[in-house]
């Protein structure tokens, strides 16, 4: 009795599991955003509060859901070696492209400042006194320069 199936290499399983974990984190981020209560929002630090209080159009939120849930389902199908994984990943990619289109073309990116790690905050929602504290804690010349240009923070580096 012969089998037509080919055993996938080890890297296939490693990439599949990493993709599943990555997309699972995306689902968690979506659910955190979708079910953010005022109590949870109040408990977050100021930059995170500003990030979560941005109102997105319904189609952007839907695109986010399609992207992360499609990616997660696609990853599961990939691990089960189903051909339909390809089509689910394509749908997920369409969701990602729709979401990124909004991020790059509908938001004024010059209104955002870096506050650490991969976090950017719209300075319209950013507390000026928080910027002072943030700049002093980081003692980062680049951060101070960006903050000065964005929200007129006085020079903290003598």
Cα gap 89→87, rounded to integer Å:
5
- In 3D space, the residue among 123, 57, 67 whose CA is nearest the CA of residue 90 turns out to be 67
Cβ–Cβ under 8 Å, residues 20 and 79: yes
pTM: 0.65
Tell me the percentage of the chain whose pLDDT exceeds 90.
Answer: 42
**For range 99-126, the mean pLDDT:** 58
Averaging pLDDT over each range in 47-56, 66-75, 127-136, which range is the top one? 66-75
CA distances (Å), 31 to each of 21, 120, 136, in order? Answer: 15, 20, 34
Delimit the domains of the chain by residue range: 8-107, 108-158
Q: Residue 4: which pLDDT band, with cuts at 50, 70 and 90? A: low
């Amino acid at each position: 009795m012969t089998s037509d199936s080919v055993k996938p290499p080890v890297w296939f399983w490693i990439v599949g599991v990493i993709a599943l974990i990555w997309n699972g984190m995306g689902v968690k981020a979506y659910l955190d955003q979708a079910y953010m209560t005022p109590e949870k929002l109040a408990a977050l630090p100021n930059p995170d509060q500003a990030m979560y209080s941005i109102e997105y159009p319904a189609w952007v939120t839907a695109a986010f859901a399609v992207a992360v849930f499609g990616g997660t389902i696609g990853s599961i199908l990939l691990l089960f070696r189903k051909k339909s994984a390809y089509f689910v990943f394509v749908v997920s990619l369409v969701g990602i492209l729709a979401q990124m289109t909004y991020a790059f073309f509908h938001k004024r990116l010059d209104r955002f400042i870096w506050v650490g790690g991969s976090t950017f905050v719209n300075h319209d929602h950013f507390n000026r006194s928080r910027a002072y504290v943030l700049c002093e804690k980081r003692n980062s010349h680049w951060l101070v320069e960006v903050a000065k240009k964005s929200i007129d923070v006085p020079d903290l580096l003598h």
